[in-house]
Amino acid sequence: SGSASGKLSYNFPTSNNDYVVFLQNNPVPGEPTALQVWVYGDGAGHYLNAWIQDREGQTWQVPFGRITHTGWKQMTGYLDPTQEWPWQHISGPKNDTIEYPVTFRGFVLDDLNNAYTGSGDIYLDDLTAANLTLPGGGGGGSAPATATSSASAPPPDSVGRILYTAGNVILTTDPAWSAPQELGTAASDTCNSPATTITGASYNLYFGNYCAIGSAVNVCASPNGSWEVVADRTSGEYVITTRLPGAENYTFVYQGPIDVNEGIRWSPGSDSFLFVVGDAVYRAFPDGNYNQIVPQAYGPIFSQDGGMILYLKPVGPGVRDVFVSNSDGSGARNVTNTAAIDKRCPAWRR
């Protein structure tokens, strides 16, 4: 309700994996499948988690998601051991099953990435237990998705359809490969095109049809010019509509918060576009229909033929791998599989 909320102040002073834990010890009645809490966010993007302990002494981390919003918003964490990270086993025995009853052991705020330093405040209120179903029916195991079994090792000295940077090294991978391979030390990384190595190799990159969102009214034309997406914030929150170029009649698509940094990304064929809410990627169509296709991703980019989407996905604290999926989000697979090293700026090779 906000009238007696709890203030959580944090200070992440180092470039290590900083987090803060507010321990409690409150029994939770029944056998709930979810926890819900109202959060007054600061928009910093940090991960909010809860710790629960079951009757066997297993302590689990329950993810509520990233706090990308400002103001009050209800966030939900699901009690389902089949989820991927940030769900994880913290301590005690581990049999991959929650043995009820459980005890709420505290809130955990984890920094967005290891490079972040800074401080801030959020407020928490009205923590409740509920019986809800995890969207998508669970994660199918704690390990992230991997490349398909038909994937093969990369041919020696070949360059795949995807390039990315890890540390100061440019690497390449491909939807058909089971592992990446190095191209060399970066002179200019894959965040811009061309990416170059210190030995003089140069690679032209494709970042898709990106349209920035910043002003009160943003118009994003499709690549073939047949449609326009209008992202309008004059009412205080974003309203996304589509229209024929310059037309006065609009088709409503969505109203609510969006990640302005991700912008609008049209498919090459102008038949659909992507936008991001929180961590989730949505695919929308000019007729107003839309659906969530990836529950957690960063920097989604359509392939040049529009058949696939490339994106980063967290696979551990401060570490992301490169994933690809079909344009509808199906068939997601990890095409880097090196969780010990963070990746940045994946892009398609021209």
Structural domain of 108:
6-137
Report the distance separating Cα 326 and Cα 309, nearest Å.
6
pLDDT surpasses 50 at 143: no
User: Do 105 and 53 touch, CB atoms closer than 8 A?
Assistant: yes
Using CA atoms, how far residue 56 sits from 106, 335, 341, in Å, is: 18, 37, 34
Residue 109 in any domain: the answer is yes
Residue 321 in any domain: the answer is no
The 10s digit of each residue's pLDDT in 182-222 is 999 999 999 999 999 999 999 999 999 999 998 788 999 99
Q: What is the domain-level CATH number for residue 54?
A: 2.60.120.430
What mean pLDDT do residues 260-272 have?
94
H-state helical runs in 185-343: none
Number of domains in the chain: 1
3-state SS, 188-202, equals ECCCCCCEEECCCCE
Residue 292 in any domain: the answer is no
Percent residues over pLDDT 70 in the chain: 90
Band of the pLDDT at 44, cuts 50, 70, 90? confident
What is the chain's mean pLDDT, rounded? Answer: 86
Least confident of 132-146, 237-251, 293-307: 132-146
- DSSP symbols for 139-200: -SSSSPP---TT-BPPPTT---SEEEEETTEEEEE-TTBSS-EEEEEEEE-TTSSSEEETTS
User: Do 292 and 281 touch, CB atoms closer than 8 A?
Assistant: yes
Residue 112 in any domain: the answer is yes
Residue 46 in any domain: the answer is yes
